Structure 1
Amino acid sequence: MQALRRLTHRAAADALGSGGLECSTSGRLLGAAAARFSAAAEQPVSEPLTLAAEERGLVGSIASNKLRKAGKTPGIVFSGPGGEQHLLAFDSKALGKLVTKLGRTAWACSVFDLQIQGEDGSSRTVRALGRQVHMTSTTDAVENVTFVFCPPERQVRVEVPLKVIGEDVSPGIKGGGRVNWIRRTIPCLARGDSIPRDFTVDISKMELNDKLYFTDLAVPQGAVLHRVNAALPILKVAK
């Protein structure tokens, strides 16, 4: 339990960002791919998803196991105003379906409006960024979830999924190549209202040995690439 607590606290701190080298992009293309690659002019921004929750007062493995037996999954929201935390419980079936739909990578850059039912009958909504999903090793059921408080104006660090389209018509792929993924996610610092849902790139005109770089990505206003080496490729088409 102590190890898990240290892990989740560290994840929450990481999510808030710590400055460092940043690279904002201007859509400049590098190398041979310059004339054969296109990124979406405007990458989609994550729209808040609604998720029902209820307060829980007890912590620890015994209390968490009782929750799970009752069909609920424990969760926590870190880094609220003043540093407070929200201890929550979610309907296990609804949460499991949502995690399956999003995937664990997309979960970590998805924004949620948590509609929290208080133990005293009150209700409130908390805007939070998904952070970690812990699964059981035997059944892949969701064991617990963590979030970070994320109002629209707050800057957070996220790993945004990289997606490609146009593989089926790419000359390089047709010529026997394949997509060599150097990065599956792209590190960003973004406002809570400007978190990219993904970075989608069209590789339909890429030839064999073409490469894409961090600077080839179109980054939405309110977000910047975080601690990246612009000279390194993020994917290439190669045999």
Structure 2
Amino acid sequence: MKKIIELKQVYKDYPQAGTLQTVLHDINLDIYSGEFVAIVGPSGNGKSTLLNLLTGIDHPSQGQVIVNGAELQKLSNEKLTSWRGANIGIVFQFFQLLPALNLLQNIVLPMDFLGRLNKGQRRERAMHLLELVGLADAAERLPSQVSGGQQQRAAIARALANDPPLIVADEPTGNLDAATADSVFDLFAHLRDQGKTLVMVTHNETLADAASRKLEIRSGRIHADSKPVNLV
């Protein structure tokens, strides 16, 4: 089975009050293609920092972060932006849809940046993704004209725009009611069944327990890892 994420002796420090505070301590982690990994643990213990390292938004102070064959800290900002667009779909807690663009345009935008498809193909794929998340009839609506659950489903569609092998989500159900959260999680389960690799930070224990693997972060360290026995 292919490793899609590999962290080797990763530390992350931040300056604070004239000294360095270590947020992540000696993280060694392998995640394999097709896994659905839930990252859990108390707030302020390094979960979002870990996600930022996986997406190249931040770099480790020490160690290596290798995602889909690329050692992220060795890429320039320009190369990292292109790499991220092709390899990772990011789903944020607060959706991060552009308010002046309708849902369809929000999903087309990542394809415009990557430039793989022509204009017609981009629109066609965006409509297909809106259908996948049950929003085809809302394609022309602005984010402000749909509910929070619909915005999050649109954000998932946007994350899939360039068909990345890895989907990373930071508290994707944190601002949703229970029923809407369940529908969003069903989408993640569907993506897992389609062979995507998913890494999700969540405080929702029910959702975490439904993932195929649960990783607990405490005090910047891996406290527990329910890695399936068939991963080698």
TM-score, reference length from structure 2: 0.25
Choose between structure 1 and 2: higher strand proportion: 1
Q: Point out the structure with the larger helix share.
A: 2
